[in-house]
C-alpha cells in the first residue's frame, strides 16, 4: 500500500465543522509534563544527545520541549570496553554502560551551559543503590534549567545481585519514593521503565504510587549479536540494549497498556513520555494516539542530528492534517473505539 492509498481519519470535532484539517501553524503543541506543561512534546532520549553540546551545533536547544541528558550517577564512571555498538535489522545494539563524569561535574560544567541556551533540562539520574539516586536528586535542587528528573530504573541494583531496579515493582517503588522525598516538591519526577519485565503495568502502578509525576517508556531491550567471522559476541560486554525502529511496536504496546490501566482507573493518570524507534512525526503520532503526551527521539539522532526538531515539525503537520487543533486532543485517542 502506498502512502497515497491510505485513508486518513479525521477527528470527529473537525469533521463536524466540515473541515478536514487545521492550519499547521495554529496547532497548540503545549504538552502536559508532570503537573505542569512544556511548550511542545518533543525531547531527546537519554544517552542519545549527551549533555546537548553536540546537538546544539545542529539545532537551537530551546526549540525542543526539553533536552533529556544521558544518565548521570553520583561518581564518574568509564563505561564498558569496546566494541560497544552493533548494527541490527532496523535498529542498533549498544553496550556503552553508564559512562559519565558524575553529578558534581554535571552541575558545575554542563548545566550552566544548557541553562544559558534556554534549554529545559530533564536530568536522567541513576545509581547502584537507592541512596545514590537520592544523592543525585538532592544535588540538582535549585539548579538552573532543570525542569524535571528522569529516574533510570534500568540500572543494576548492587544490593540485589545486579538485577535492575526496573525488574520488579517493589525496587522501582523504593527508588522513586526516595527521589520524590528529596527532590523539590514542584519538580516533576519521571520513572523510566524497562520493557523486559513480566508486567510493565504493575511496575508503572508501583512508580505512580511512590509519587512519580510521569512515566518514561521504554528503555532498550536486551539482546546479543554474534560476529560470524570471529565466532564471538560482537559487543565486548556481550549483552547490549536494542533500540531503533525494531522496538517501536513493543514501545507503543507498553504505552498503550499503561494508558489503558490509567483509563480503567487501575493507576492514577500521569503523563507518559513515549520513546522507541521514533524517526518521523507519524511515528511520534502513534505514541500520542496510544496515550503519550510527550515523545523522545533517540537512535534516530545518530543518523540525523536534526531529527528531534524535524519530528516536532512533522508531528505538527500530522496533527493538523488530521484536524487536531491541540496535541492533547489526540492523546490516547486510539483507545476510543
Ligand atoms: C547509545 C544509546 C545510549 C543510551 N543511554 C541511555 C542512558 O544513559 N539512560 C537511559 O535511560 N537510556 C539510555 N538509552 C535508551 C534511550 O534513551 C531510549 O530509551 C531507547 O534507545 C529507545 O528509544 P530509541 O529507539 O529512539 O533510541 C540509550 C540508548 C542508546 C541507543
Q: pLDDT (tens digit, 9 = 90+) per residue, 86-145? A: 999 999 999 988 888 899 999 999 999 999 999 999 999 999 999 999 999 999 999 999
Contact (Cβ atoms closer than 8 angstroms) between residue 228 and residue 88 = no
Q: Is 155 a catalytic residue?
A: yes
Architecture of domain 3-329: Alpha-Beta Barrel (3.20)
In the predicted model, is pLDDT for residue 333 greater than 90? yes
Q: Does the pLDDT value for residue 3 go beyond 80?
A: no
Ligand 1 midpoint to CA 302 (Å): 11
The Å distance, Cα 45 to ligand 1 centre, comes to 6
pLDDT in tens, 9-37: 555 544 433 356 899 999 999 999 999 99
- Any atom of ligand 1 within 6 Å of the Cβ of 278: yes
Q: CA 228 from chain center: how many Å?
A: 33
Kind plus residue range of the DSSP H or E element containing 287: helix 281-290
Q: Compute the 3-state secondary structure of the chain and give helix, strand, coil in percent, each to the nearest 5.
A: 35, 20, 45
Q: Which residue has its alpha carbon closest to ligand 1 atom 28? A: 47
Whole-angstrom Cα distance, residue 149 to residue 153? Answer: 12
Mean of pLDDT values over 78-90: 91
pLDDT of 11: 56
Q: What's the grid cell of residue 135?
A: 544523592
Region 231-254: mean pLDDT is 97
**Single pTM value for the model:** 0.95
SS3 36: strand
Q: What value does the mean pLDDT take over residues 58-69?
A: 98
Domain ranges of the chain: 3-329
Give SS3 for 148. strand
Decide if 245 contacts 277 (C-beta within 8 A).
Answer: yes
Q: Is 267 in the pocket of ligand 1 (CB under 6 A)?
A: no
Amino acid at each position: 500500500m502506498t502512502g497515497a492509498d491510505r485513508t486518513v481519519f479525521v477527528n470527529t470535532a473537525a469533521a463536524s465543522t466540515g473541515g478536514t484539517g487545521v492550519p499547521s501553524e495554529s496547532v497548540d503543541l503545549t504538552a502536559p509534563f508532570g503537573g505542569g506543561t512544556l511548550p511542545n512534546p518533543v525531547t531527546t532520549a537519554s544517552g542519545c544527545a549527551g549533555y546537548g553540546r553536540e546537538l546544539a551545533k545542529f539545532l537551537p536547544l530551546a526549540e525542543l520541549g526539553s533536552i533529556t541528558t544521558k544518565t548521570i550517577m553520583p561518581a564518574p564512571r568509564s563505561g564498558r570496553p569496546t566494541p560497544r555498538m552493533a548494527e541490527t535489522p532496523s535498529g542498533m545494539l549498544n553496550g556503552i554502560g553508564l559512562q559519565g563524569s558524575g553529578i558534581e561535574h554535571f552541575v558545575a560544567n554542563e548545566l550552566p551551559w544548557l541553562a544559558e541556551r534556554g534549554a529545559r533540562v530533564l536530568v536522567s539520574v541513576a545509581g547502584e543503590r537507592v541512596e545514590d539516586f537520592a544523592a543525585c536528586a538532592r544535588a540538582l535542587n535549585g539548579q538552573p534549567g532543570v525542569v524535571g528528573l528522569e529516574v533510570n530504573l534500568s540500572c543494576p541494583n548492587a544490593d540485589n545481585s545486579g538485577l535492575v531496579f526496573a525488574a520488579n515493582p517493589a525496587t522501582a517503588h523504593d527508588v522513586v519514593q526516595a527521589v520524590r522525598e528529596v527532590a523539590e516538591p514542584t519538580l516533576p519526577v519521571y520513572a523510566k521503565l524497562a520493557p523486559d519485565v513480566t508486567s510493565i503495568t504493575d511496575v508503572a502502578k508501583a512508580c505512580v504510587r511512590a509519587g512519580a509525576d510521569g512515566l518514561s517508556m521504554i528503555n532498550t531491550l536486551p539482546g546479543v549479536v554474534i560476529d560470524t567471522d570471529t565466532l564471538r559476541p560482537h559487543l565486548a560486554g556481550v549483552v547490549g540494549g536494542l533500540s531503533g525502529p525494531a522496538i517501536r511496536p513493543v514501545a507503543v504496546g507498553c504505552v498503550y497498556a499503561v494508558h489503558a490501566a490509567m483509563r480503567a482507573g487501575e493507576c492514577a493518570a500521569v503523563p507518559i513520555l513515549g520513546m522507541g524507534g521514533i524517526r518521523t512525526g507519524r511515528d511520534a503520532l502513534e505514541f500520542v494516539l496510544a496515550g503519550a503526551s510527550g515523545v523522545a527521539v533517540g537512535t534516530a539522532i545518530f543518523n540525523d542530528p536534526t531529527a528531534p526538531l524535524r519530528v516536532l515539525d512533522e508531528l505538527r503537520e500530522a496533527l493538523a492534517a488530521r484536524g487536531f487543533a491541540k496535541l492533547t486532543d489526540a492523546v490516547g485517542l486510539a483507545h476510543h473505539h
